[in-house]
Amino acid sequence: MKNVYFDSAATTQIRPEVVDRIKVALEENYGNPSSTHSFGRSSKTLIETARKTIAKYLNASPQEIIFTSGGTEADNMVLRCSVRDLGVTTIITSPIEHHAVLHTVEQLRVESDIKVAYVKLQPCGTPNYDDLEALLKADNSKKLVSLMHVNNEIGNILDVDKVAAICKEYGALFHSDSVQSIGHYEWDVQKTSVDFLAAAAHKFHGPKGIGFTFIRKDSGLKPLIFGGSQERGFRAGTEAVHNVAGLEEAFRLAYDNLEEERSYVEGLKIYFMSALKKVIPEVKFNGNCHETTKSTYTLVNVCLPFDQQKALMLLFHMDLKGISCSKGSACQSGSSKGSHVLRAILSDEDLEKPSLRFSFSKFNTKEEIDYLIQVLHEYANS
């Protein structure tokens, strides 16, 4: 039995170079960055250098990059502080956002009595831009739009330039959960007038437990976590220096090798879809997976034409064969409710069939995909 990993949308294999960088930081940069002695200054320099590196690639200012524990904290920080500090009384989002956004918004509705509006979806799952505009001009309340750049389950790509322009026209703030995007797509925050972004290092071959949020300068946001003056006073707590070092290394390598690795991974996705269609002609690709310009090159969400008995054992069978993938998203795998994303876009008939998400990275090979196709083909005919 082989062991193959097709779940990079959940988390990626860490690059060896990143492991080495973290090890050096743990061994050499162990001073508290808030200390004024040489050990502290060494750690502080590492953090500020990492901040400048990230800002350079995003065309942002270093002061606009705030390190967090990951994407969930970044989303919570922006949404909560926008309501508390910026007078936001209406949040417009979509029913297929990550739960870091959806659950936070619902809690804010309870706590702060804000209005929440959900933009209608196109049949493929992409937000309807005309409906977004209608929601924005419905009243004069202070609004924040929160729409993810790349959907973590079906891979649909949001036209962030279009959304940013619509938000700007109506004076709304724009937050984008870009966790599945940063490290895989270029961002230029001077070109795209987004106000807030969220990122997590473990989605682009970095360590878990570290990410960042882009907060456009002079936003008016105040701290969510109080204490010391770390992160320019915006997020208190001693910084995880080694994780920041790992994030910087993973971020730099992702963008320095972006074109080459994107071409390779996209080739794997196209190869997989073509091969799967040959052995299981009735397969369906959920969302915009089949359109490479409208869906991320990193994942495919497939609806397989299996009966309920076959469907119940499918994920277990894949695991027995050493294949790691997801039913819906990893964040949903322990839930009996299934995927809220697929419920929003699939017919009742297709919801009865099993859907699996396969996500790829630079560490995968065509030989692994051949094995995956073989296993799926055998299971379909068993």
The tokens for 316 are: 């277990």
Local structure of 326: helix, strand or coil: strand
Residue given tokens 């918004």 in the structure block: 105
Write the secondary structure of 196-250 as one string of H (helix), E (strand) and C (coil): EEEEEHHHCCCCCCCEEEEECCCCCCCCCECCCCCHHHCECCCCCHHHHHHHHHH
Decide if 331 is catalytic.
Answer: yes
**Cβ(215)–Cβ(222) below 8 Å:** no
Closest by CA position to 96, among listed 287, 284, 335: 287
Spatial neighbors of 267 by CB under 8 A, at least 6 apart, are: none
DSSP tag of 70 = S
DSSP tag of 156 = B
Spatial neighbors of 342 by CB under 8 A, at least 6 apart, are: 153, 154, 286, 301, 328, 351, 355
**Cβ(121)–Cβ(95) below 8 Å:** yes
Query: Between vectors from CA 358 to CA 317 and to CA 177, what angle results, nearest 5°?
Result: 135
Closest by CA position to 87, among listed 9, 172, 7, 13: 172
Q: Of these residues, 81, 124, 325, 331, which one is catalytic?
A: 331
Query: Between vectors from CA 52 to CA 49 and to CA 54, what angle results, nearest 5°?
Result: 110
Torsion angles phi and psi, residue 231, rounded to 5: 50, 50
Strand order in the sheet with 65-68: 65-68, 211-215, 196-200, 173-177, 143-146, 90-93, 115-118
Distances in Å between the alpha carbon of 84 and those of 77, 79, 89, 112? Answer: 10, 9, 9, 9
The residues assigned a catalytic role are: 331
